[in-house]
Amino acid sequence: MAKRYILALDQGTTSTRAMLVDADGRVAGIAQREFTQIYPQPGWVEHDPREVLASVQATVAELLTRMQVEPGDLAGIGIANQRETTVIWDRRTGQPIHNAIVWQSRQSVAICERLQADGCTPMVRAKTGLLIDAYFSASKIRWLLDHVEGAQSRAERGELLFGTMESWLVWNLTGGRLHVSDASNAARTLLYDIHRREWDDELLRLLNVPRAMLPRICPCSGHVGDTDPARFFGAAVPIGGLAGDQQAALFGQACFEPGMAKNTYGTGCFMLMHTGAQAVPSRHGLLTTIAWEIGGEVEYALEGSIFVAGAVVQWLRDGLRMLERAADSQALAESVASSDGVYLVPAFVGLGAPYWRSEVRGAMFGITRGTRREHVVRAALESMAYQSRDVLAAMEADAGIPLKELRADGGAIANDFLAQFQSDMLDVPLLRPKVQETTALGAAYLAGLALGFWESRTQVARLWQVERRFEPGMAEAERGRRYRGWQAAVQAACVFTP
Measured in degrees and rounded to the nearest 5, phi and psi for residue 42 equal -55, 130
Query: Which residue, 130 or 214, is less far from ligand G3P as judged by CB?
Result: 130
Q: Which strand (E) or helix (H) includes residue 173?
A: helix 165-173
Query: Which residue, 227 or 282, is less far from ligand G3P as judged by CB?
Result: 282
Query: Which residue, 167 or 339, is less far from ligand G3P as judged by CB?
Result: 167
Of 38-46, 80-88, 376-384, 428-436, which segment contacts ligand G3P by CB under 6 A? Answer: 80-88
How many Cα neighbours within 13 Å face the side chain of 223?
A: 10
Chosen residue from 16, 82, 172, 184 binding ligand G3P by CB under 6 A = 82
| Residue 140 found at the interface with ligand G3P (CB under 6 A) | no
**For strand 27-34 and strand 15-21, is the pairing parallel, antiparallel, or unpaired?**
antiparallel
| Residue 303 found at the interface with ligand G3P (CB under 6 A) | no
Of 78-86, 90-98, 282-290, 456-464, which segment contacts ligand G3P by CB under 6 A? Answer: 78-86
Binding-site string for ligand G3P from residue 29 to residue 58, where x marks contact by CB under 6 A and - marks none: ------------------------------
The SS3 call for residue 467 is: strand
Query: Which residue, 82 or 172, is less far from ligand G3P as judged by CB?
Result: 82
Chosen residue from 245, 390, 398, 437 binding ligand G3P by CB under 6 A = 245
Q: Which of 280, 262, 162 is nearest to 216 (CA)?
A: 162
At closest approach, how far in Å is the CB of 83 from ligand G3P?
4
Measured in degrees and rounded to the nearest 5, phi and psi for residue 47 equal -130, 150
Q: Are 183 and 292 in contact (CB under 8 A)?
A: yes
CA angle 490, 493, 498 (to 5 degrees): 170
Chosen residue from 47, 83, 106, 274 binding ligand G3P by CB under 6 A = 83
Chosen residue from 12, 25, 240, 304 binding ligand G3P by CB under 6 A = 12
Measured in degrees and rounded to the nearest 5, phi and psi for residue 214 equal -90, 145
Of 82-90, 312-320, 326-334, 386-394, which segment contacts ligand G3P by CB under 6 A? Answer: 82-90
| Residue 252 found at the interface with ligand G3P (CB under 6 A) | no
Q: Other C-beta atoms within 10 Å of 373: how many?
A: 13
| Residue 84 found at the interface with ligand G3P (CB under 6 A) | yes
**How many chain residues touch ligand G3P (CB under 6 A)?**
12
At closest approach, how far in Å is the CB of 455 from ligand G3P?
29
| Residue 13 found at the interface with ligand G3P (CB under 6 A) | yes
Query: Which residue, 245 or 382, is less far from ligand G3P as judged by CB?
Result: 245
Binding positions for ligand G3P, 258-277, rule CB under 6 A: 266-268
Q: What is the DSSP-derived secondary structure letter of residue 38?
A: B
Q: What is the DSSP-derived secondary structure letter of residue 42?
A: T
Q: Which of 197, 215, 195, 88 is nearest to 152 (CA)?
A: 88
Length of the chain: 498
Q: Are 299 and 278 in contact (CB under 8 A)?
A: no
| Residue 174 found at the interface with ligand G3P (CB under 6 A) | no
Residue nearest to ligand G3P as judged by C-beta position: 266
Query: Which residue, 174 or 289, is less far from ligand G3P as judged by CB?
Result: 289
CA angle 148, 350, 313 (to 5 degrees): 105
| Residue 246 found at the interface with ligand G3P (CB under 6 A) | yes
Q: Which of 177, 111, 167, 185 is nearest to 144 (CA)?
A: 111
| Residue 388 found at the interface with ligand G3P (CB under 6 A) | no
| Residue 103 found at the interface with ligand G3P (CB under 6 A) | yes
Q: Which of 377, 464, 465 is nearest to 421 (CA)?
A: 377
At closest approach, how far in Å is the CB of 323 from ligand G3P?
20
> How would DSSP label each residue in 235-299?
---EEEEEEEHHHHHHHHTT--STT-EEEEESSSEEEEEEEET--PPPSSS-EEEEEEEETTEEE
User: Contact residues for ligand G3P (CB under 6 A)?
Assistant: 12-13, 82-84, 103, 244-246, 266-268
